[in-house]
Amino acid sequence: MKVWKGKLFVVSAPSGAGKTSLCNRLLEEEERISYSISYTTRQPRHDEEHGRDYFFINVEEFESMIEDGEFIEWAKVHNNYYGTRKKTVEEYLADGRDVLLDIDPQGARQLRKKLGYGVYIFITAPSIAELEKRLRNRRTEPEEIMKLRLDNARKELKLFGEYDYIILNQDFDEAYRCLSSVYLAEHLKTIDINSIHDLMEKEEQ
Ligand code: 5GP
């Protein structure tokens, strides 16, 4: 494709929906997308790395970033702060790159209101029981945090109507096909094409 405008893709999902694996595959396969690494006050899990999965900072640092207006959106999720750095998103988009954000519904709602653009995608597992099973199999969280995440999952599911697309992750390959179709279709929108002549071959003189 010759004409390419960077787009913002915002993905939300309750814990255990398989969102991270789906997003990672999209990032591997589509070289025009950059992932915006969030900031959080949550403790890193054993397999997470600072600067790859998140920027892990303390509450004081996070609150000072809020005061300095560094976040395009931020929220308290499962008792920790999470936020997206404004400059990161702006720089990628200015470069013509797509940006992928993995954020909770409170953050997605803020962005839609503030920006008025973006593609909003909600991913979920086929049932609450399945979410619970996947969360338990992950064994990354202690019991009380898992309960909190499941309670929040029930609340987050009610917000699916605020998104443009919903993907039911029952089978990974099928769910990925849906995600990648949304990505492709969003780049075929005529509204993003400034000039048909830029898109088509010039007529021979
Ligand atoms: P986790 O602790 O499982 O990595 O993430 C918990 C929740 O925080 C997920 O719903 C994830 O999408 C959300 N999250 C991650 N980064 C951000 C962010 O920058 N902003 C907001 N609002 N939510 C985020």
Instruction: Kindly give the distance from the C-alpha atom of residue 118 to the centroid of ligand 1, in angstroms, as a whole number.
Output: 18
Tell me the whole-structure pTM to 2 decimals.
0.93
Give per-residue pLDDT as tens, 32-75. Answer: 999 999 999 999 999 999 999 999 999 999 999 999 999 999 99
HEC sequence for 93-107: HHCCCEEEEECCHHH
Please state the atom number of ligand 1 nearest to the C-alpha of residue 108. Answer: 22
Which segments of the chain does DSSP mark as H helices, in order? 19-29, 59-67, 86-94, 105-115, 128-138, 143-157, 172-186, 196-199
Q: How far apart are CA 49 and CA 1, in angstroms?
A: 35
In a domain, 2, yes or no: no
Question: Which of 115, 32, 40 lies closest to 72 in space, CA to CA?
Answer: 115
Asked whether residue 202 is domain-assigned, the answer is no
Residue 180, domain member (yes or no): yes
**Interval 147-161 mean pLDDT:** 93
pLDDT at position 171, please? 96
- Using CA positions, which residue lies closest to atom 1 of ligand 1? 15
1 within domain boundaries? no
Q: Is residue 33 part of a domain?
A: yes
Pocket test for ligand 1, best of 102, 111, 121 (most atoms within 8 A of CB): 102
- Higher pLDDT: 203 or 113? It is 113
Q: What pLDDT, on a 0 to 100 scale, did the predictor assign at position 139? A: 76
| pLDDT classification of 2: cutoffs 50, 70, 90 | very low
Q: Percent of the chain, pLDDT > 70?
A: 96
Residue ranges making up the domain that contains 47:
8-188
195 assigned to some structural domain: no
Q: What is the CATH number of the domain that holds 29?
A: 3.40.50.300
Specify the ligand 1 atom closest to the Cα of 12.
12
Counting the structural domains of the chain, the total is 1
Residue 197 located in a structural domain: no
Residue 3 has pLDDT above 70, yes or no: no
Residue 198 lies in a domain: no
Amino acid at 104: D
pLDDT at 196 over 90: no
- Inform me whether the pLDDT recorded for 169 exceeds 50: yes
Structure confidence at residue 204 (pLDDT): 63
pLDDT tens readout for residues 105-140 = 999 999 999 999 999 999 999 999 999 998 888 877
